[in-house]
Each structure stands twice: as C-alpha cells, then as structure tokens.
C-alpha cells in the first residue's frame, strides 16, 4: 500500500492501532473512534501526534469538539461504492474547518482520487503500482467544475463571472 | 434551448476522453469488471441480455434537430438502425459494442450530448414538463432550473457514490406533467403571494418495489436557494441512506423509516449551515440561463388560423388526429403538436434512424429546430404555426408517425421487459403491442377517452405501472409469464398509486380483462368523467367484477 500526498509517494510515519492493541512508546498513532473516546485523555497527553480512523458509518460530528487535538483523520472506504466518507470529508473540512491531514483509506483507486481531493482529502492510501502516475492522470482528467467545495478549484460560475 | 459555453463543452469533451482511457484500461485488464462497472454506468453503459445498452441524456427532454440527426447517425453506424425513447426522456440504444464507446462519446460531445450519470448510483438526468416554455397553463419555465440542477449535479464529487440512484423532476405548472411526486426530489415551481418565484419541495416519492408518493418537505423555497437545499437533502441521504440492501436504499425508504418530520428537521438544520454559502444562485446566473430559454421569434398571428380550420372541415382523418395530438399554445396562432412514437401494434418509444431524420427536418421546417421527448416515450414539436399543421401531418403520415393516440389507451408506457432486460419476469413490449392492436380503432379509442396504461416486466417498475390508471406488472409464477393488474394509479398533481385488483392473468387473459374493465368504465361513467375519476368515485368493486367475469379466469 502506497501513501500518496501532494502528488508524491511518501513514507508513512503513522502506526495504525486496531481496537485495544498496545500503544507504542513513541511515534504518531492512529486509533479507532471507540479507542479515542475511551482513552481520550491519555492520547491527548502523548508527546507525539494522534489521529483517528473513522469507519464509513461513524458520524464525523463525534469528533467535532476534538479537532484541535488531532493531526490526522483517516476515513475508510470499505468498498469504493460506499460514498459516505465523501460527505464526512466535506463536513470536517467545510463545516468544522479541520486543518490536519484527511486521509482516504480502504478501497481507493485512481478513478476516485479527484473526487476525493475535491471533497477535502489530501492523502490517499492507494492500491497502485505507480501512485504518482495515477495522481497525474486523475488530476488531468478535468479542469472544469460546477460545484464549489473547499479545495479552492474555481467553479465554472466563478470563471464565467470573472 | 441551452447552448454550452466553453466550460460546459470542455467538461463533456474531457469526460469522453476520460472514459476512452477507462475503456482502454478495462480492455487491457487493468480494471476488473467490478471496478469498471460503476465507471461505465456513470457514462450510461449497461450490460443487458444480449449486448451493451447505452443511455444518452436528453436534458429535461429538450433536443435540437442537430442532436437528433446525430442520434440517427449513431443508430445507423453503431446500432441496428433504431433507438428507443425512455420514460425519463432519454434515448437508449440496445446493441452497442464496448470498443465503439470512445468514438460514440466523442460524436455525442460534438453536439453537446453525453451519457454522464444516465445510470449508476448518482443524480440522474433531471426531467421536466414536456410543454415547458409553451404551455398555456405555465407559471414559470422549469427548464431554467433544470439546467441549473444539471450543471450542479454533473460530476458532483460528493454525490457520485450515493446509496442508490437519485431522480429530480421539476414542473412549472399546476397541471403536473412531470410526475414530480414520484421522484426522489420533486419541485413545483410557483409564485407566492408576494409574487416571488420559488419551489414547493417534495421528497421521497418513487416507484420500484416499494412505491411511495412524495411528501411536501418545504412549502416555499426561494429560487436562489435551490442548490443549497438540494445539497442539504443529498448530504443527509448520502450519510444516512441504507446501504445494506439495495432494495431499501432509495431516499423514500430513509424518509419513511426516519419519518418525514425528523428527516425534514435534519435537512433544515444542514441547510441553515450552508444556505448563505457559495451555492446561493446569483440573480445574474439565473438570468444568464434564462436568456437561453427566451421564446423563439414568433410571428403575430390571429388566434385561430382560417386555413387550419378549413382543412379540419375538409378532412375528417386530419381533424381526428388534430383533436388528439394538439395542445394549447400560449402564443396565438401556434400549436403544440404531439407526435406518437407508439404506433398501433408496435413497441412504445421505438424510432428508426430514418424517422429521426424526418423529425429533425420537420423541426427545422416548422418548429424552430427544436423537439421534446416526453415521459410517455413520444416526441413533441412545441412551436408549430396552426397553418402549417396540415402539411406537417401529411409528412408525418409518410413517415409512419401520424398515429392519433396521445393520452389514449394504445399510447402505453412500457419498459424493455424480457426482450432485453435480464431482470424481467415477463415480456412487456409484445403485450403492449397486443393491447394496442386489440383497441386499434381510433374512434373507439377516442370514445373511451383519456386512460393511461403502464406496463413493467417486473416489480422494479421501470414502466411505472403503479401510476398507470391501469398498471400491469410481470410476476414470476412457476416459470410461466404471469401478469398482475392494478387500477387507480395516477402520476398527475393528484398522484396516487394503483392497487392490485386480484389474481394474475396470462398474456391473453390480461388483454381480455382490460377490455372488459374498459367496457365497464364506459357504461358506468358519468358525463365527461375520465377513467381515473370513475374509478375513484366507484372504487374497485365493479371493475373487479368485470375483470374476473367471463371465460378467461384469473389465476
Ligand atoms: S421493470 Fe423490470 S423488466 Fe422492466 S426494465 Fe425494469 S428491471 Fe427490466
């Protein structure tokens, strides 16, 4: 699994902690929502960065009050047809102005990168032999958009009136 | 009609190129069929029983002669020389090869057409009243807002993997010809007491296995807030709609399970957060789009053309056809002309490439080069001078397009059924053909009057059988084709769902039963009463008695 960020393949410094697994002494960790809710205080007290991984049926609102403590939120696509995380991403970015890393994990392919990016994802755990090529193909597909989102791409309407 | 600007055109061309790459990746084995499936669906490509089927959007049913000629060309070059109008105002080709798709999409893009989101779990082509812009009873032109929705919903990054498909319809008149109450979102455009234009918003209507009539979720939505409100509805649906069972995934089930009040509360809450944001429609943009729908340069004519009236008295066949096919135009001296693509004894909605070309020529000669596709799978020329109607009629006769059955019993709606569709339990096209052959006589049909017969090959209801005055659905019974009959459906402003009458029939039995039901109606109706009105007054009992009386027993 490659991590794609800013169009580049990068090393992933984050350790994924499933369920009640023991936390490593140091290093950034990403935990499930239930673990976060259970060990919130001690996780905040850690010296290193903390992230939370949301399942597609977790409500992003449950993190609304905690965003200042989180450096990363990973949103899971259990199958690419489950599109809930697109909404979760926009809720976190646009409704709550989350500034950390928003990572797409799970069933992530070239064909989804662009829409994910438009919804606020900026990192992707992608299944691919050549993630950088995939990124280039994906972002070159379109340069016209009708929908205003927080990604800053100008919409057709904005370009029409400029 | 709306003409693409550079941005609209770029998007559609880029999409065609993107799909060419995806086809290449599929053919090279880089994408599995499972991964490719949603991509091809979002470009309108289904795999049917025998071949690929391509569905091409006709945005809210509005088509130019140039576009229709391109469709004729595609039918001739890539298909078996004909196409098919669908109940959602689109065109469908049934015999497409995957390898040809990239070329076809580029051909379509050259005339501002595409198959984007014509299938798949996303926002589909928005539909509208087929008389939009010309109907005498229209309050506001719905096409303006359909086009705004078309743009907003195209390649929407958040709503491209919804729980299920999503359909929006807009009507601009109180006589709802767009069936807005059986859509996921239905919009009724009207003016409030202060004279401002806005929408009544209906949500959660739909047919399929579990039909519902949509309910009003907001009495008045200012037009500038159209997109933020739709986005709020879609966001709640995308987050909370069921994904565990595809038959429970439509928004109607969510609304039903949550209750309209709670669903509405959540929508309003979300809307409050986003309503003053970037989705608010500037007046200038509404106006920019409205200029595309300015009326054509009408001549000022007397309200009634003497030449037209004279032809009517001279030619009884013409008068009969005109009585059935013409509708009132808001402009004096003009007529709305319905052209039946459901001739007696033939599949509803089929049209040959030759007929497409004839229609394109007639649109150029008589109707400012524009046509409409109707949800009854027919065509409309919206702006014909009354004095041209006779010449037009003669041309339609030679093209086999002069059937006089608009709104009559032989003008059935029907889905592809077992002849094309892998989900079907029964054939629907041959049944529609048989019924129309049985009631072929025009004067008999006119005596019967308005009656909508809708047929589906299975409970998925693509033929909208629940909202047919008479609905027929193929059911699976011990591997034989069996049809169930329902009565009392309507897709109009007073929408209602039909009720199953009793045990099902075989193919011949159901035709006999319909005939007896119609006979019963004719003998029971009061003056000027339409079938649906008689049914509502008397209930099912007398019709049930008629249907199950006689030699062919229901079973
Ligand atoms: S109603 Fe059934 S048979 Fe007809 S097209 Fe739809 S799925 Fe196929």
Q: Min CA distance, B183 vs chain A (Å)?
A: 21
For chains A and B, CB pairs below 8 A equal: 97
Query: Which spans in chain A are helix H?
Result: 33-38, 40-45, 84-90, 110-119, 131-140, 156-160
Q: Is B431 in the pocket of ligand 1 (CB under 6 A)?
A: no
pTM over 0.90: yes
Torsion sign across C-alpha atoms A121, A122, A125, A128:
positive
Q: In the predicted model, is pLDDT for residue B551 greater than 60?
A: no
**Separation CA A5–CA A3 (nearest Å):** 6
A20-24, B377-381, B423-427: segment of lowest average pLDDT: B423-427
- Domain B6-109, what fold? Sulfite Reductase Hemoprotein; domain 2 (3.90.480)
Q: In the predicted model, is pLDDT for residue B158 greater than 80?
A: yes
Average pLDDT over residues B385-398: 98
Q: Give the C-alpha distances (Å, rounded to integers) separating B467 from B99, B177, B208, B471, B498.
A: 38, 13, 11, 7, 6
Chain segment B98-113, per-residue pLDDT in tens: 999 999 999 999 999 9
A55 interfacial to chain B (CB closer than 8 Å): no
**Separation CA B501–CA B516 (nearest Å):** 13
Q: Is B456 in the pocket of ligand 1 (CB under 6 A)?
A: yes
| Helix axes B251-258 and B260-274, enclosed angle (nearest 10) | 110
**Separation CA A81–CA A90 (nearest Å):** 17
What's the confidence (pLDDT) of residue B552? 45
Sorting pLDDT into bands at 50, 70 and 90, what band is A123? very high
For chain B, domain boundaries: 6-109, 134-292, 306-399, 413-547
Q: In the predicted model, is pLDDT for residue A53 greater than 90?
A: yes
B197-201, B309-313, B489-493: segment of lowest average pLDDT: B489-493
Q: Are A100 and A73 in contact (CB under 8 A)?
A: yes
- The residue ranking higher by pLDDT, B11 or A162, is B11
A53 interfacial to chain B (CB closer than 8 Å): no
Among residues 206-265 of chain B, which lie with CB inside 8 Å of chain A? 235, 238-239, 243
The DSSP string of B29-80 is: TSS-HHHHHHHHHTTTEEE-SSSEEEEE--GGGEEEHHHHHHHHHHHHHHSS
Sorting pLDDT into bands at 50, 70 and 90, what band is B555? very low
Backbone phi, psi, residue B341, to 5°: -105, 20
Q: Please state, rounded to an integer, the average pLDDT across all residues of chain A.
A: 95
Sorting pLDDT into bands at 50, 70 and 90, what band is B476? confident
The answer to whether ipTM exceeds 0.95 is: yes
Find, in chain A, the residue whose alpha carbon is nearest to that of B158: A86
- If you search the block for the tokens 């159901």, which residue do you land on? B510
State the distance from the centre of ligand 1 to the C-alpha of B253, rounded, in angstroms.
20
Average pLDDT over residues B51-72: 95
Q: Min CA distance, B281 vs chain A (Å)?
A: 10
What's the confidence (pLDDT) of residue B6? 94
Contacts of B467 (CB under 8 A, 6+ apart): B179, B182, B207, B452, B454, B489, B490, B491, B495, B496, B497, B498
What's the confidence (pLDDT) of residue A1? 74
CATH code 3.20.20.140 for B413-547: no
Pocket test for ligand 1, best of B417, B425, B464, B482 (most atoms within 8 A of CB): B417
Q: Is B208 in the pocket of ligand 1 (CB under 6 A)?
A: no
Find, in chain B, the residue whose alpha carbon is nearest to that of A154: B278
Q: How many CB atoms lie within 10 A of CB B475?
A: 14
Report the nearest-CA residue for atom 2 of ligand 1: B458
What's the confidence (pLDDT) of residue B316? 96
A136 interfacial to chain B (CB closer than 8 Å): no
Structural domains for chain A: 2-161 (3.20.20.70)
Q: Please state, rounded to an integer, the average pLDDT across all residues of chain B.
A: 93
Sorting pLDDT into bands at 50, 70 and 90, what band is B35? confident
Q: Are A116 and A108 in contact (CB under 8 A)?
A: yes
The DSSP string of A70-105 is: -SEEEEEESSTT--HHHHHHHIIIIIS---SEEEEE
Among residues 21-40 of chain A, which lie with CB inside 8 Å of chain B? none
Q: Are B279 and B231 in contact (CB under 8 A)?
A: yes
- Atom number in ligand 1 closest to CA B473: 1
> What's the burial of B260, exposed, middle or buried (CB within 10 Å: 0-12/13-18/19+)?
middle
- If you search the block for the tokens 């019974």, which residue do you land on? B477
Q: How many CB atoms lie within 10 A of CB B267?
A: 23
Asked if domains B134-292 and B413-547 share a fold, the reply is yes
Sorting pLDDT into bands at 50, 70 and 90, what band is A162? confident
Average pLDDT over residues B347-362: 94
Q: Is B416 in the pocket of ligand 1 (CB under 6 A)?
A: yes
What's the confidence (pLDDT) of residue B422? 85
Taking only Cα atoms into account, the Rg of chain B, rounded to an integer number of angstroms, comes to: 23
What's the confidence (pLDDT) of residue B25? 87
Chain segment B263-297, per-residue pLDDT in tens: 999 999 999 999 999 999 999 999 999 999 999 99
- Is residue B305 helix, strand or coil? coil
- Is there a contact between B161 and A160 if contact means CB atoms under 8 Å apart? no
Chain segment B318-329, per-residue pLDDT in tens: 999 999 999 999
Chain segment B92-151, per-residue pLDDT in tens: 999 999 999 999 999 999 999 999 999 899 999 999 999 999 998 899 999 999 999 999
**Separation CA B87–CA B408 (nearest Å):** 17
* CATH number corresponding to B134-292: 3.30.413.10
Of B423, B419, B446, B447, the C-alpha closest to B432 is B419
Q: How many CB atoms lie within 10 A of CB B387?
A: 19
Q: Which of B14, B159, B235 sits opposite A142 (nearest CB)?
A: B14
Percent of chain B scoring above 90 in pLDDT: 79
* CATH number corresponding to B306-399: 3.90.480.20
- Is residue A54 helix, strand or coil? strand
Sorting pLDDT into bands at 50, 70 and 90, what band is B550? low
- Is there a contact between A156 and B15 if contact means CB atoms under 8 Å apart? no
Chain segment A41-51, per-residue pLDDT in tens: 999 999 999 99
């Amino acid at each position: 699994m490659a991590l794609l960020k800013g169009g580049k393949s990068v090393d992933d410094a984050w350790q994924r902690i499933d369920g009640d697994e023991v936390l490593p002494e140091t290093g950034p960790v990403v935990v499930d929502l239930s673990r976060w809710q259970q060990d919130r205080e001690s996780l905040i007290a850690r010296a290193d960065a903390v992230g939370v991984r949301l399942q597609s049926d977790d409500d992003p609102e449950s993190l609304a009050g905690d965003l200042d403590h989180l450096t990363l939120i990973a949103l899971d696509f259990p199958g690419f047809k489950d599109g809930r995380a697109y909404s979760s991403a926009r809720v976190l970015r646009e409704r709550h102005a989350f500034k950390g890393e928003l990572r797409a994990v799970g069933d992530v392919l070239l064909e989804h990168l662009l829409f994910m990016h438009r919804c606020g994802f900026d990192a992707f755990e992608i299944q691919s032999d050549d993630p950088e090529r995939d990124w280039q193909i994906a972002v070159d597909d379109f340069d016209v958009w009708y929908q205003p989102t927080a990604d800053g791409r100008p919409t057709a309407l904005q370009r029409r009136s400029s | 009609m709306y003409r693409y600007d550079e941005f609209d055109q770029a998007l559609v061309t880029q999409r065609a190129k993107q799909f060419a790459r995806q086809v290449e990746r599929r053919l090279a084995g880089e994408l599995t069929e499972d991964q490719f499936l949603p991509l091809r669906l979002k470009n309108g490509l289904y795999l049917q029983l025998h071949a690929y089927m391509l569905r091409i959007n006709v945005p809210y049913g509005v088509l130019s002669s140039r576009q229709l000629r391109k469709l004729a060309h595609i039918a001739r070059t890539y298909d078996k020389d004909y196409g098919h109008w669908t109940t959602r105002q689109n065109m469908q080709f049934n015999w497409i090869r995957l390898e040809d798709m990239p070329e076809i999409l580029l051909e379509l893009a050259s005339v501002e057409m595409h198959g984007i989101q014509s299938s798949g779990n996303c926002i589909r082509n928005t539909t509208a009243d087929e008389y939009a812009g010309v109907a005498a009873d229209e309050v506001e032109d719905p096409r303006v807002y359909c086009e705004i929705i078309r743009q907003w919903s195209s390649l929407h990054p958040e709503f491209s993997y919804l729980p299920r498909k999503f359909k929006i319809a807009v009507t601009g008149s109180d006589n709802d010809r767009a069936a807005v109450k059986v859509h996921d979102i239905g919009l009724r455009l009207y003016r409030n007491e202060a004279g401002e234009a806005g929408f009544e918003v209906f949500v959660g209507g739909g047919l399929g296995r579990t039909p519902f009539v949509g309910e009003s979720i907001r009495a008045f939505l200012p037009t500038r807030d159209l997109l933020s409100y739709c986005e709020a509805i879609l966001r709640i649906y995308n987050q909370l709609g069921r994904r565990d069972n595809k038959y429970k995934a439509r928004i109607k089930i969510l609304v039903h399970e949550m209750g309209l009040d709670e669903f509405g509360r959540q929508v309003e809450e979300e809307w409050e957060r986003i309503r003053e944001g970037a989705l608010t429609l500037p007046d200038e943009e509404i106006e920019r789009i409205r200029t595309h729908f300015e009326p054509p340069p009408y001549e000022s004519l007397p309200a009634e053309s003497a030449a037209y009236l004279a032809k009517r008295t001279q030619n009884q066949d013409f008068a009969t056809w005109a009585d059935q096919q013409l509708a009132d135009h808001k402009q004096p001296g003009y007529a709305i002309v319905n052209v039946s693509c459901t001739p007696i004894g033939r599949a509803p909605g089929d049209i040959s490439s030759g007929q497409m070309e004839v229609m394109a020529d007639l649109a150029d000669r008589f109707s400012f080069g524009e046509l409409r596709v109707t949800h009854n799978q027919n065509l409309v020329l919206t702006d014909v001078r009354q004095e041209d109607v006779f010449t037009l009629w003669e041309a339609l006769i030679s093209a086999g397009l002069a059937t006089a059955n608009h709104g009559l019993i032989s003008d059935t709606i029907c889905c592809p059924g077992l002849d094309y569709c892998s989900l079907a339990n029964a054939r629907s096209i041959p049944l529609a053909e048989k019924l129309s052959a049985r009631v072929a006589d025009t004067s008999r049909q006119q005596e019967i009057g308005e009656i909508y017969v809708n047929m589906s090959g299975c409970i998925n209801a693509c033929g909208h059988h629940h909202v047919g005055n008479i609905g027929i659905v193929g059911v699976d019974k011990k591997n034989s084709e069996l049809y169930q009959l329902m009565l009392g459906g309507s897709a109009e402003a007073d929408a209602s769902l039909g009720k199953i009458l009793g045990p099902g029939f075989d193919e011949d039995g159901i035709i006999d039963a319909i005939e007896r039901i119609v006979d019963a109606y004719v003998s029971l109706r009061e003056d000027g009463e339409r079938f649906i009105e008689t049914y509502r007054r008397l209930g099912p009992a007398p019709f049930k008695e008629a249907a199950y009386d006689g030699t062919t027993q229901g079973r």
